[in-house]
Amino acid sequence: MTDLAKHNRMANAIRFLSADAVEKAKSGHPGLPMGIADVATVLFGQFLKYDPTKPDWPDRDRFVLSAGHGSMLLYSVHYLLGSEDFTIDQLKNFRQLGSLTAGHPEYGHGAGVETTTGPLGQGLANAVGMAIAERHLSEEFGPSLVDHHTYAIVGDGCLMEGISQEAISLAGHLKLRKLIVIWDDNGISIDGKVSLSDSTDQIERFEASGWETISIDGHDPAAIAAALSSARESDKPTLIAAKTTIGYGAPNKGGTEKVHGSPLGAEELEAARKALGWDAAPFEVPSDILDSWRIAGLRSGQARKEWEKRLAETDGEARGEFERRMRGDLPAGFKGALDALKKKLAAEQPNVATRKASERILGTINEAVPETIGGSADLTGSNNTKTAQTKSITPDDFSGRYIHWGIREHGMAAGMNGMALHGGVIPYSGTFLVFSDYARPAMRLSALMKQRVIHVMTHDSIGLGEDGPTHQPVEHYAALRAIPNLNFFRPADITETLECWELALESRKTPSVLALTRQNLASVRKTYDAENLCARGAYILDDSADDPAVTIFASGSEVGLAIEAKALLAAEGIQTRVVSVPSFELFEAQSEDYKASIVGDAPVKIAVETGIRMGWDRFIGADGIFVGMTGFGASAPYQALYEHFGITKEAVAAAAKARLHEKVEG
């Protein structure tokens, strides 16, 4: 058998495993795996540094299937390489409940799935984040421990999504030379030919962002290998534009949208078998071909062993630090450093915006936790995310710890996902809270993937003032609290900000948003408490002497206002309790008893927050009083806005009294 014949049969193994699985599931996307099989065979067979016997090897190459609908490509290839997770039974259970072989690749469902993809363009931006993490860690621990490539396969859909431009332009700017992107240029999308909706010269587009580009026939293994070799030598990120036929081998449907997202059908699948000379039964791979694949799977074993040897020979301290970082454990000194600051803050009682509070706390964190990498989407001075420890990362120097993401909130969030997935770093970065909308698809994915990604989102309410309703979050608290497995924190002062930062860093499986104010806030936590009170999600901050007649629930900047309202009520002898609610999510995780005690049974319950009511009925009931927003904000100095929208201590106190009066009268 010639090399070419062997290559073809190895590629056909991918094609038919993929098509067979889609056929059996009666659902899925055969077109991509069949089209890109030649590229995948060369990439995984000859280039990718990956050891199926040790799939979590830190210095493995990262591979991202950004065009996630072609998930069967990933499952087929990993089965062929000898994955312990992607067995033939898993392939037979493609898209079935409880199988690892989900409709789209899901991180955590089997080794080899480096990220969850499907929502288009995300994987490309994840790959950029992975490549950044690699460059940074390589700088820090040296190329003997960290020196690998990041590969991504993207489709036309990925390249049409706006996020791709953010990823491409940042990667080009940073000269991420170890990033290699393969474009499955098949000219077909769901509606038909790509030319129905796009005429972009992708080569020119990537070159405009400083990429190397190589155009090849995606079915020519020699050309593929040459392109990959060349890409690995480039001093820029490389795009390999691989011209392919979608559903390659399907004689009637291949090359058309018919093969994109539906099973081939028995007849066409049989015809494809004939056309490509594949006579193995469904889900069977001739033993010689399986052997060839398994040998390819073992290819990187030696490199892995050599790397382990180098690690073992590494100075104990550096090795320990590297291993700690890759495990994701926080350094020993972290808790102590934060606690010392907490004591200091309790003594100082500063009156400071929580964004400024965050900056100060970050100074302590970044000193104690060397794996944090900060950043901002071009709002560094507003988000206060840069500290003395975080020198900027530049195209020529990755030793820094701060990324100027540019005005690219979506790419930033997806890039941070990639950094967290890579491991060894903890990404945090900033934008305005209202622009969480721009980043939302990527934030959802970090929640789904259970990644420790921290979003510092400042200017968190009408309290930002003059910039007006386009910049004032109103529905965003509810919208972010709605995302499963995302902790949305809205701290009330500097001490709560510290506690929320601590929780965010310790939440290894949950991304966090810290919603922070532009305006100054008085300290509401008057004494030092060793316990992290915010960990409860909601807690009694300022209790009544006797049973409360009124309980006021509030978050963030409105907690201070609640305390002021309590003073007004106290002047009239009304027993009032103030509950601070920094996190709905952590509150829900408490015991039923604790939750019941916080919700309490005060005759009057009021919630105060500069957002919409949605979600607060949990605390105040459907008949509770909500003092907050009912529509969009406005442009004016912030004090005028609080007055205008009736979010004042007087309004809270008056509403409480009126309701109490009703109850007494009633």
Of 475-504, which residues contact its own copies (CB under 8 A)? Answer: 475, 478-479, 481-485
Query: Which residue from 621, 650, 662, 663 is in contact with its own copies, where contact means CB under 8 A?
Result: 621
Instruction: Please state, in angstroms and as integers, the Cα–Cα distance from residue 239 to each residue in 38, 41, 157, 290, following that order.
Output: 17, 18, 16, 30
| Least distance from its own copies to the Cβ atom of residue 165, Å | 4
Taking the least distance from each CB to its own copies, the nearer of 7 and 481 is 481
Q: Residues 553, 619: contact at Cβ < 8 Å?
A: yes
Query: Which residue from 294, 324, 440, 657 is in contact with its own copies, where contact means CB under 8 A?
Result: 440
- Determine if residue 518 is labeled as part of a ligand binding site: yes
Of 392-431, which residues contact its own copies (CB under 8 A)? Answer: 392, 395, 404-411
Q: Does 117 help bind its own copies (rule: CB under 8 A)?
A: yes
Q: Does 236 help bind its own copies (rule: CB under 8 A)?
A: no
Taking the least distance from each CB to its own copies, the nearer of 168 and 326 is 168
| Least distance from its own copies to the Cβ atom of residue 435, Å | 7
Taking the least distance from each CB to its own copies, the nearer of 319 and 508 is 508
Of 501-560, which residues contact its own copies (CB under 8 A)? Answer: none
Give dist(CA 427, CA 372) in Å, integer: 6
Query: Which residue from 2, 3, 56, 97 is in contact with its own copies, where contact means CB under 8 A?
Result: 97
Give dist(CA 310, CA 196) in Å, integer: 53
- Determine if residue 7 is labeled as part of a ligand binding site: no
Amino acid at 175: K
Of 136-195, which residues contact its own copies (CB under 8 A)? Answer: 156-157, 160-166, 169-170, 172-173, 189-191
Of 623-662, which residues contact its own copies (CB under 8 A)? Answer: 630-632, 634-637, 640-641, 644
Taking the least distance from each CB to its own copies, the nearer of 318 and 634 is 634
Q: Does 214 help bind its own copies (rule: CB under 8 A)?
A: no
Of 358-397, which residues contact its own copies (CB under 8 A)? Answer: 376, 378-382, 392, 395
Instruction: Please state, in angstroms and as integers, the Cα–Cα distance from residue 565 to each residue in 40, 202, 514, 660, following that order.
Output: 65, 60, 25, 15
| Least distance from its own copies to the Cβ atom of residue 620, Å | 8
Give dist(CA 214, CA 240) in Å, integer: 5
- Determine if residue 418 is labeled as part of a ligand binding site: no
Q: Residues 185, 241: contact at Cβ < 8 Å?
A: yes
**Residue 572-601 contact track with its own copies, rule CB under 8 A, x = bound:** ---------------------------x--
The backbone region for 98, taken as left when phi is positive above 0, alpha when psi lies in -120 to 50, beta otherwise, is left
Give dist(CA 305, CA 309) in Å, integer: 6
Structure letter (DSSP) for residue 383: H
Q: Does 210 help bind its own copies (rule: CB under 8 A)?
A: yes
Q: Does 438 help bind its own copies (rule: CB under 8 A)?
A: yes
Q: Residues 203, 239: contact at Cβ < 8 Å?
A: yes
Taking the least distance from each CB to its own copies, the nearer of 334 and 616 is 616
570-576, Cβ contacts within 8 angstroms, sequence gap of 24 or more = 572/657, 574/549, 574/550, 574/656, 574/657, 574/660, 575/544, 575/545, 575/546, 575/547, 575/548, 575/549, 575/550, 576/544, 576/548, 576/549, 576/550, 576/551, 576/552, 576/656
Taking the least distance from each CB to its own copies, the nearer of 42 and 647 is 647
Give dist(CA 167, CA 158) in Å, integer: 11
| Least distance from its own copies to the Cβ atom of residue 477, Å | 9
Is residue 409 flagged as an active site residue?
yes
Q: Does 3 help bind its own copies (rule: CB under 8 A)?
A: no
Nearest-CA neighbor of 159 among 211, 190, 124? Answer: 124
Instruction: Please state, in angstroms and as integers, the Cα–Cα distance from residue 161 to each residue in 120, 125, 188, 520, following that order.
Output: 7, 11, 15, 39
- Determine if residue 58 is labeled as part of a ligand binding site: no
Q: Does 612 help bind its own copies (rule: CB under 8 A)?
A: yes
| Least distance from its own copies to the Cβ atom of residue 230, Å | 22
Residue showing tokens 């030649």: 38
Question: How many residues bind its own copies, per CB under 8 A?
Answer: 109
- Determine if residue 118 is labeled as part of a ligand binding site: yes
Nearest-CA neighbor of 580 among 636, 638, 541, 528? Answer: 541
CA atoms within 13 A on the CB side of 642: 18
- Determine if residue 69 is labeled as part of a ligand binding site: yes
Query: Which residue from 25, 550, 563, 565 is in contact with its own copies, where contact means CB under 8 A?
Result: 25
| Least distance from its own copies to the Cβ atom of residue 155, Å | 9
- Determine if residue 435 is labeled as part of a ligand binding site: yes
Taking the least distance from each CB to its own copies, the nearer of 297 and 624 is 624
| Least distance from its own copies to the Cβ atom of residue 481, Å | 7
Percent helix / strand / coil, the chain, rounded to 5: 50, 15, 40
Identify the active-site residue in 114, 161, 166, 409.
409
Residues 6 or more apart whose CB falls under 8 angstroms from that of 145 comprise 58, 59, 137, 138, 307, 310, 311, 314, 322
Packing angle, helices 557-570 and 649-665, rounded to 10: 50
| Least distance from its own copies to the Cβ atom of residue 159, Å | 8
Taking the least distance from each CB to its own copies, the nearer of 287 and 399 is 399
Tokens of 49: 């540094």
- Determine if residue 410 is labeled as part of a ligand binding site: no
Q: Does 62 help bind its own copies (rule: CB under 8 A)?
A: no
- Determine if residue 174 is labeled as part of a ligand binding site: no
- Determine if residue 382 is labeled as part of a ligand binding site: yes
Q: Does 127 help bind its own copies (rule: CB under 8 A)?
A: no
Residue 513, H or E segment: strand 512-515
Work out whether strand 352-353 and strand 576-580 pair parallel, antiparallel, or are unpaired: unpaired
Cα dihedral across residues 241, 247, 251, 257: positive or negative: negative
| Least distance from its own copies to the Cβ atom of residue 442, Å | 9
The backbone region for 591, taken as left when phi is positive above 0, alpha when psi lies in -120 to 50, beta otherwise, is beta
Taking the least distance from each CB to its own copies, the nearer of 163 and 492 is 163
- Determine if residue 188 is labeled as part of a ligand binding site: yes
Known catalytic residues?
A: 409
Residues comprising the binding site for thiamine diphosphate? 69, 118-120, 157, 186, 260, 435
